[in-house]
Each structure stands twice: as structure tokens, then as C-alpha cells.
Amino acid sequence: MPKKRVIAIDRSNKEWKEKIISSIIIATATVSSLLLLAMLLFILKESWPVWSQIGISSFLSGASWRPLGSPPQIGILSMIVSTLWVAGGALLIATPLGFACAIFLAEFAPPLLAAVLRPVVNILTGIPSVVYGFLGAAVLVKFFEVKFDLASGESLFAASLILAIMVIPFIVTNSEAALRSVPLEYRYAAMALGVSRQHLAMKILVPLARKGMLGALALAFGRSMGETMAVLMLAGNILRLPMSWFAKGEPLPALIALELGSTTPGSLHYQALFAAGLVLVLMVMTVNLGINILLYRLQKGGHTI
Amino acid sequence: MKKLVHLTVLLIALLVLGLFAGCSSNEPGGENNAAAKEDFSIKIGGSSTLAPIIAQCADQFTEEYKTWDKVDANLSEEPIVIFVSTGGSGFGLKSALDGTFDFGMVSKTLKDEEKEQFADGTITQIGSDVLVIGVNADNPVAQVKPDMSTEDLVAIFSGQVKNWKEVDPSLPDRPIVVAVRDLGGGASEVFDNAIMKGTPISDQALQIPSMGALAGKIMDNTDTIGYVSSGLVNQNPDKIIPISVDGISPTLENINSGAYKVGRPLLLVSKDAPNDREQKFLDYLLSETGLKVVEEMGYIPVAR
């Protein structure tokens, strides 16, 4: 009888603890979402004069950026287009390589090779972006100038290449985790049916893991849109609207990093840079939201885990 | 497990405390201001060009003397504290006027109405930042046309002239790569005042995030023309060839006499006459050791 009572006390103690922990977690989550909201409100407040005086459409679609000219012209179309070229291009290069690498690591790699490759891929995520940018500026730019006899080697393509190397590890790690989390029953069932390893990987595991793999892509896209240092050093930073992947351009993070330091707080230039920041944040959020909606649709559509 | 819970609670408590602390320090508190009255520190803020120079001098000054009574026996035995923060020349001017800083760091030529605002205080020049128009040593323009007129330079930097052949028929048929600092920054303002005079820079010009990288671009790429801080040209005499403007080359004599115009003064401004401590630091900046720092950082120290 006494023993039972001890257990009962223990249980209520445990419940109590769980309540505390869950309320802490809820509090932390609330605080961090409030922080995000506060940040958005702050950026909106700092950039408000731009939206009210110049207007959303002419700010977004104006191709001329001369914030200090008289009269000042502030339009960020060429920066938005540059951002999309750079980030989209990086994904174009990184997606096939990243997915292939993830499938190889999860299904085909001999254990020894995987044990070596996996930490290497993980270490790649930890290299500071300024190092990548520096490497790109020292090696890639020079390479383009010499190899293709260009007057100057900076281009959106060069920035995309370096960004691709930076986001491949994200794609690999997250996609591999998604592939591994497919329940074993599917594997056993496939083996029982005697399908080949290739069929198992491509026709069974990948479709089942597509949710996680798409999530990996969303993460990679967000990261490559927001990446600053490498892009700043490689994209060339010219103010002209980029008409191709191989043109130069100035993505939004590069614009903000380049100019914010020399603005006077409260000036139109300063407010315009905040407005550009808001546009960047909203772009990244839209992509994440879009992918989430897509995933939700996919899930409703049927056969996923 | 229990430990983990304790730790989490502690962390959250710290976080919440931090948030409250953050809020309260933003409030215009009476206590803080009262404490500041007894404050012996010197606060300096403004131009990011000047900040490294002043910070370096402040470090040396503090290391050397440690307390004010060692600087001058008449001063009290307080430790020397000098704060240096950046925020741009405009911010330096504004904060020196509203009293946030004792000195504002300004790296641009002051307009007359701006000078008036500091009529009761001081405007001290400690040096100049001179921009040199430079080309790669392997570019034949260094021999063919080492002197350009302002009109030539405007044509090149605004993008009207796009090919070296158009600059001089004997030059190779290669595109000109124009490299500039971020438009709107201090250096490009100097260049605009001295050369461009409002003509917009070509939209094909590469905007390079730092002076060092701009010098590197000129050294790496034979087709590049750009403006560089004079210090960087002096450090790489065989790799960057300076171009004279309207016949005036960027030599030390021409810079000090004011004949070479592509530059800006490095100034410290204060709203009121500096107190003893502030004056001592100003004297230190203008002493041989202080001006040596100016030179080491790649700028032209003010002539003593």
C-alpha cells in the first residue's frame, strides 16, 4: 500500500514538471514569434515614408536607383530580379547535385565511404560565407576573366555557383534525413517483392520522402536569397537590370550591406534601404509559405507518410 | 533531468530580465542622466573612415597614461575612458550638435551653414583622405595618357566612353571596366564633388564594397580604372599607376598645397569649447604620434 502511494506522488510530480516544461516551451515560442513580429513592425515603421510617398508599385517596378540624385529615384526592380536570378540559379545547380548526393548517401554508399562523406558535408555548412566569397573573388572571377576573356569576371552566375556550393550541404543533410525516416515496412515490402535497389530508391523512397526533400529546397532557397557576403563579393554590384544569368547585378542583401553604412538615419536613402529589407524578408517568407501550402496539398492528395 | 529543468528556468529568467533591462534603458531615465554628469569619459562618434584612426589613437593614449592625472598633474586621478562609435559623417554632425557625443567625426568638406553651427566649438582637421585615380600597371594608358582632363574622366566614369581605344587610338580595343565604391558613400561623394559634379556614374560601373578590394581589382584586372585612397596607391607603387587630373599629379606637395582637389578633410567637430581632458586628447591626436597613426592608416596627415 505505501509503495503505491509513492508511485502516485511520483506521477503527480512528473505531471507538474511536464506542465512547467511545456509552459516554458510555449513561452519561448511566443517570445520568438513576437520578436519576429516586432522586427517586421520596426522595419515597416522605418520604411513607411517610402511606401506612403513613393508607393508600392513604383518602388517595386522602378528600375532606376539613385537615392541621392535630385530628384531621388528609388526603384528596386533590378535588385529583385538579381536576387531571383542568383537564388534561382543556385538552386538550379544545387538541387540535382544535392538530391543525388542524398540518395547516394542514404541508399547506395558503402558504410565506410558514407562515414567519411557525411561529416565532410556537415563541415561544409560551418564554413563562414565570407570565406566562400573570398575564394570566389580570388579564384572564380579570375578564372572567368582568363578563360572566357571577359573584361571583368563578376557575374550573377559566379555568385550562383558559390551559393550552390554553400546550400548543397543543407539539401543533402535534410533530404537524407527525410529518406531515412521512411518507415522500414516499405523497405521490407519492396524487398519481399524483389524489386531492384534502384527501383526501391527512386520509385518508392523518394516519392515517400518528397515532403522533407521539398522542405530542404525551401530552406536552401531562403538561405541563398538572404546570403550577403559571398554575393556582395561576386555579383559585380551594378545598377542595371540584369537580362541574363551571366550579366552582373546587385541582389537585395548586397545593396543593403553596401549602402546602409553610409546613410544618415532618417534620410530617404535610409528608409529606402529598410523598405528593400522588408521586400527581402517578405520574399523569403512567401517562398516558405508557398512551399508549405504545396506540401499541405500534396499531403491531402494522398500517398505520403 | 532535474538539472536540465533548473538550467532552462534560469535561462528563461535571464532572457526575461534581459528584455526588461532593454526596455528600461530606452526610457528617458532621470538617474542615468544624473550619472552622466559625473562622467569623465570622452565620447566620439561619426564617420567610419575616421573611426579606426581615432580608436587606435584612443587605445594608445589610454595605454600610455591610464589615468588623467598622468596626462596632466592638474587633472583628477580618474581612469581614462574614450568611447569611439561609428555611424557615418552625417550622424557625427548630428550627434555632436545634440550632445550625444563630445566630438563628432566628419569626413567631408563642411558647408558654410554647417561650419556656423560649430562657431562656439572647434573644428579640427587631423588629415585628409585623398583619392587617386589609378589604372593597372600593365595597361598601356599609364604610358600613353598618364594625364587626363576632368572631361575625359567624366566621359569614362559616366559610361559615355566605353572602350580604351576611344580614349586614345593607340590603346588596345578593350572595354573599360569602371570600378567605384558604393554610390552614396563618402568616397563616391568626394569623387562626385571634385570630378563628376552631378553627372551620374555609369550604371555598368562595378560597386566594390571596400577600398582594399577596389585596389585589388585594379591590380588584378588590366582594363580597370577606379579611384583609390592614396595610402593604398603608395603601398603598391608598381601595381597601381596614378593618373594626373588636369595636369596635377597627386603628390604630397600638390595635396598639401590644395592644388590636387580629389579629396576630403578628416575632421573632429565639437559644439562647445573642449574641456581640459578633451583638449589633451586633441593635442595628442595632432602630436607626432597621433599623426603617425593617420599616416599608417593610409591617409595624409595634416601639415604641422
Asked if residue B8 is part of any domain, the answer here is no
Instruction: Find out whether A67 and B184 touch, Cβ atoms under 8 Å.
Output: yes
Q: B109 and B184 share a domain?
A: no
Report yes or no on B163 lying in a domain.
yes
Tell me if B23 is assigned to some domain: no
CB < 8 Å to B204, chain A: 238, 240, 248
Q: Residue A300: which residues within 8 A CB-CB, separation 6 or more?
A: none
Do residues B110 and B148 share a domain?
no
Interchain contact, A263 vs B5, CB within 8 Å: no
Q: Are residues B98 and B215 in the same domain?
A: no
| Residue B90 shares a structural domain with residue B204 | no
Q: Are residues B125 and B270 in the same domain?
A: yes
How far B58 CA sits from the closest chain A CA (Å)?
Answer: 22
What residues of chain B lie within 8 A of the CB of A262, using their CB? 48, 88, 182, 184-186
Please indicate, yes or no, whether residues B60 and B172 belong to a single structural domain of this protein.
no
- The minimum CA-CA distance between B178 and chain A, rounded to whole Å, is 10
Q: Do A69 and B200 touch (CB under 8 A)?
A: yes
* Range A66-300: architecture per CATH: Orthogonal Bundle (1.10)
pLDDT at B72 over 80: yes
Which residues between 23 and 62 in chain B have a beta carbon less than 8 angstroms from any beta carbon of chain A?
A: 48
Of B9, B91, B221, the CB nearest to A152: B221
Count up the domains in chain B and report the number.
2
- Let me know whether B140 and B244 are in one domain: yes
Residues of B in contact with A24 (CB under 8 A): 8-9, 12
Give B205's contacts in chain A (Cβ within 8 Å).
238
Give helix A252-259 / helix A77-103 axis angle, nearest 10°.
Answer: 120
Domain locations in chain A?
3-53, 66-300
Q: What is the pLDDT of residue B110?
A: 84
Retrieve residue B6's grid coordinates: 533548473
Q: Can you give the three-state secondary structure of A155-207, one letter per residue?
A: CHHHHHHHHHHHHHHHHHHHHHHHHHCCCHHHHHHHHHHCCCHHHHHHHHHHH
Does residue B24 carry a pLDDT above 50?
A: no
The grid coordinates listed for B220 are 588584378
- Report whether pLDDT(B290) > 50: yes
pLDDT for the residue B227: 92
**Measured distance CA(A167)–CA(B302) in Å, rounded:** 49
**Positions in chain A whose pLDDT score sits under 70:** 1-11, 300-305
The pLDDT value recorded for residue B26 is: 43
pLDDT of residue B13: 57
What's the rounded Cα separation, in Å, for the pair B58 and B298?
18
Average per-residue pLDDT for chain B: 83
Q: Are residues B242 and B289 in the same domain?
A: no
What mean pLDDT value characterizes chain A?
Answer: 87
Whether pLDDT at B28 is above 50: no
Report if residue B125 sits inside a domain: yes
Residue with cell 557615418: B88
Distance of residue A264 Cα from the nearest chain B Cα, in angstroms: 6
Q: Which of residues 62-121 of B touch A (CB under 8 A)?
A: 86-88, 90-91, 94
Beta bridge partners of A155: none
Q: Which of A238, A258, A264 sits opposite B209 (nearest CB)?
A: A258
Long-range pairs for B214-220 at CB < 8 Å and ≥24 separation? B214/B179, B214/B180, B214/B181, B215/B134, B215/B240, B217/A152, B217/B177, B217/B179, B218/B134, B218/B135, B218/B136, B218/B179, B219/B136, B220/A142, B220/B136
State whether residue A250 sits within 8 Å of chain B by CB.
yes
Each residue of B164-185: pLDDT tens digit?
Answer: 998 888 888 888 999 998 877 7
Decide if B21 is inside a domain: no
For residue A62 the three cell numbers come to 522602378
Residue with cell 548543397: A168
Q: How confident is the model at residue B204, as a pLDDT?
A: 87
Residue of A nearest to B210 (CA): A258
For an interface test with A, the pick among B183, B193, B196 (most A C-beta atoms closer than 10 Å) comes out as B183
pLDDT at A72: 83
Q: How far is B300 from chain A (nearest CA, A)?
A: 22
pLDDT digits (tens, 9 = 90+) for B217-261: 899 888 999 999 887 888 888 889 999 999 898 888 888 787 888
Mutation target for B interface from A25, A31, A258, A273: give the one with most B CBs within 10 A: A258
To the question of pTM greater than 0.80 for the whole model, the response is no
The CATH number linked to B120 is 3.40.190.10
Query: Is the domain of B80 the same as that of B156?
Result: no
Residues B113-158: tens digit of each pLDDT? 888 888 888 899 998 888 999 999 999 988 888 889 999 999 999 9
pLDDT confidence tier of residue B35, bands split at 50, 70 and 90: very low
Give the pLDDT score at B31: 41
Express each pLDDT in B41-68 by its tens digit. 899 998 878 888 999 999 999 998 888 8
**Sign of torsion, CA B67 B70 B71 B73?**
positive
- One domain for residues B192 and B293: no
From residue B237, how far is each of A98, A227, B134, B179, B230 by CA, in Å?
46, 36, 11, 19, 10
Residues B125 and B145 in one domain: no
For residue B235, the enclosing domain spans: 130-257
